[in-house]
Chain A
Amino acid sequence: MTETLLFDAALIALILGVTVWTLAVRDTIAAVIGFVVWGLLIAFAWVRLAAVDIALTEVAIGSGVTGMLLLRAGAQARKFDAPVKPVNRTTSIIAGALCGVVFVVLAAVVLLATGPGPTLAPQVAESLPLTGLGNPVTAVLLAYRAFDTLLEKVVLMLALLGVWSVAADRAWGRPPELWTASRRDGVLRFFAQVLAPVGIVFAIYTFWAGADVPGGAFQASAVLAAIWLIVVMAGLARLPATGSPALRLSLVAGAAIFLVVGIAGVHIAGAFLAYPPDFAKALIIAIEAGMVWSVAATLALLVAGPPQAGERR
């Protein structure tokens, strides 16, 4: 008991320390690295709270994909870096006071709460067998709250459209550009060649195991996206043109399969996104497979950024 308390205290101290450092550090790239480390520590906190699914997502998407996105954005922003203007005192005091109020209210809500909070966990556990799944988190994402998950897919696609829309007119439909190792550089190439098969197997395992144990489509797609980006950066593959029909189809496949199953549910099972009980698991796996493909493509392209008009190599 004391040991875990000691560990938790150290973890919280570390999280707070890294938070302060990340906010205080002046260099953009250093701040991003602080943010990535912070995400990793937060994932440990989730593990300590027995929420392994969230921990995996935090590491893969919150820390990994977002970290890389921020790194690229930071590198872009560096080109236009103006000297940082000191914030005036009144602004800092007001901002500090507002943050303080939020902190106090949140702390009060947590500390003054009595009894267990409202929960639907018993109902979820009770009807879990109907879905054919063993992991309640996956059941919530793909069965009970499938509509939210469907909309998340759409939001991701909209985000990608937002990134693409900052491209110059003449770049529209061209491929995005990513830093690529020089031809003579064998290190990254070898790394990508060895890692790609391992990563693909791991992603498929994460996706498949997600039905019964922590894991799932989102984490699997983050791994796939990372592998794809490494392969591209190693110079083993090129990013596709953003106008290519195959790519566009890949991006919408996940949401499309989801919608088709959802609409079929109206006729077969009596409600939008309802699954007939005998095929629930098969349908969920089918939706998830489409989702992994589309989300992986979307995440990788989000990181790759808007299409560039530069010469095609």
Chain B
Amino acid sequence: MSSVANLFVIIAVGIAAMFFLAGTVGLLRFPDTLTRLHALTKADNLGLGFVVLGLMPLVGVFVALKLVCIWLLVLFASATVSQLIARSALRKAGAP
């Protein structure tokens, strides 16, 4: 594998790790459910996205497609789940 591809992998997965770290810090430090959800979903989605992107040069076309499918499914599931959690949190807080 060329060193360009290697560099690409390292940078992309490095960015992913940063997003996961930021998301975790946000999850631990943010004051309420909604902001914590924001930190979690933003970081998770982008973090996983960059992991998938970073793995692209290492795998064949079909595996790459599978990885993208996994990313899309996780995006979809985490968006849905955070909507549900946010609504339940709002309902408990007595907001509209």
Q: Which A positions have Cβ atoms within 8 angstroms of B?
A: 185, 187-188, 190-191, 194-195, 198
Q: How far is the CB of B52 from chain A (nearest CB, A)?
A: 18
Is residue B73 contacting chain A, with contact meaning CB distance below 8 A?
A: yes
Stretch of B2-10, B15-23, B35-43, B80-88 that contacts chain A: B80-88
Given A188-B84, A195-B76, 8 further pairs, Cβ under 8 A: A187-B80, A187-B83, A187-B87, A191-B76, A191-B77, A191-B80, A195-B77, A198-B73
**Chain B residues with CB under 8 A of A185:** 87
User: Which partner residue on chain A sits nearest B73 by CB separation?
Assistant: A198
The 8 A-B residue pairs with the shortest CB-CB distance in the complex, in nearest-first order: A191-B80, A187-B83, A187-B80, A187-B84, A188-B84, A188-B80, A194-B76, A191-B76
| Interface pairs (10), CB distance under 8 Å | A187-B84, A187-B87, A188-B80, A190-B80, A191-B76, A191-B77, A191-B80, A194-B76, A195-B76, A195-B77
Q: Per-position contact with A for B64-96: 1 when CB-CB < 8 Å, else 0? A: 000000000100110010011001000000000
Q: Which A residues are in CB contact (< 8 Å) with B80?
A: 187-188, 190-191
Kindly state the separation between the CA atoms of A190 and B73 in the bound complex, as whole angstroms.
Answer: 14
Chain B positions near chain A (C-beta within 8 angstroms): 73, 76-77, 80, 83-84, 87
The answer for the CA separation of A194 and B83 in the assembled complex, in Å, is 16
User: Which label, helix, strand, loop or mixed, suits the secondary structure of the B interface?
Assistant: helix
B76, B80, B83, B87 interface centre (most CB from chain A within 10 Å): B80
Bound-state CA distance A188–B81 (Å) is 9
Shortest distance between the CB of B91 and any CB in chain A (Å): 10
CA distance A190 to B79 in the complex (A): 12
Q: Which residues of B contact A194 (CB under 8 A)?
A: 76
Contacts of A188 in B (CB 8 A): 80, 84
Name the residue on B nearest A191 (C-beta): B80
A195 to B83 alpha-carbon distance, docked (Å): 16
Shortest Cβ distance from residue A144 to the other chain B in the assembled complex, whole angstroms: 31
A233 to chain B, nearest CB (A): 10
Instruction: State how many angstroms separate the Cβ of B31 from the closest Cβ of chain A.
Output: 20
Please report the C-alpha to C-alpha distance between residue A188 and residue B77 in the assembled complex, in whole angstroms: 10
Centre residue among A187, A194, A195 by max chain B CB count within 10 A: A187
A187 to B85, CA, bound (A): 11
Expressed in whole angstroms, the minimum distance between the Cβ of A78 and any Cβ of chain B is 15
* Complex contacts, A190 vs chain B, CB 8 Å: 80
Considering only CB atoms, which chain A residue lies closest to B81 in the complex? A191
**What is the distance, in angstroms, from A240's C-beta to the closest C-beta of chain B?**
25
**A191 / chain B contacts, CB cutoff of 8 Å:** 76-77, 80
CA gap between A185 and B83 in the complex, in Å? 10
B69 — nearest CB in chain A belongs to which residue?
A198
* Chain B residues closer than 8 Å to A195, beta-carbon distance: 76-77
